Amino acid sequence: MSPTRRCSRTACSRPAVATLTYVYADQTAVLGPLALHAEPHAYDLCEAHSERLSAPRGWEVMRLAPDPSLAGPSSDDLLALADAVREAARPVPAPAEPPLGLAGESGREVGRRGHLRVLTND
């Protein structure tokens, strides 16, 4: 899960709950539920700043109410969480036999540094 986004207003550190975008062609400010991702031309606002929002004279403010059915985790979220838990609980398979050396020689690995291996011929 990503960290909580903060309000875009200067000196405000409260968590964002809504996203504000401007439709310049229609002279409309649209305030809706918090967008999934931060957008460069949108402003994330906390509850206090979203309630006190005003637009320039002659502009319309359109407030989009959040869909209550989206408030809690969806069935997709719960299935993804269950899959992640199952994946984490699976046993780790035993490591495969190390590959042969460059010249086709086999040996016992005694050291490793990055992608390089030190082999001995015991």
Q: Answer yes or no: are the C-beta atoms of 102 and 117 closer than 8 Å.
A: no
Question: Is 57 part of a structural domain of the chain?
Answer: yes
**Number of independent structural domains in the chain:** 1
Residues 6+ apart with CB under 8 A from 118: 109, 110, 111, 112
Question: Is 40 part of a structural domain of the chain?
Answer: yes
Boundaries of domain holding 50: 1-65
State both tokens at 41. Answer: 């031309």
Q: Answer yes or no: are the C-beta atoms of 106 and 120 closer than 8 Å.
A: no
pTM above 0.85, yes or no: no
Question: Is 105 part of a structural domain of the chain?
Answer: no
State both tokens at 18. Answer: 């809504």
The predicted-structure confidence for 6-58, as pLDDT tens digits, reads as follows: 999 999 999 999 999 999 989 999 999 998 888 889 999 999 999 999 988 99
The predicted-structure confidence for 57-78, as pLDDT tens digits, reads as follows: 999 999 998 666 556 666 677 7
Q: Answer yes or no: are the C-beta atoms of 111 and 98 closer than 8 Å.
A: no
Question: Is 84 part of a structural domain of the chain?
Answer: no
Question: Is 21 part of a structural domain of the chain?
Answer: yes
Q: Answer yes or no: are the C-beta atoms of 76 and 45 closer than 8 Å.
A: no
Question: Is 59 part of a structural domain of the chain?
Answer: yes
State both tokens at 16. Answer: 């964002």
Question: Is 33 part of a structural domain of the chain?
Answer: yes
Question: Is 97 part of a structural domain of the chain?
Answer: no
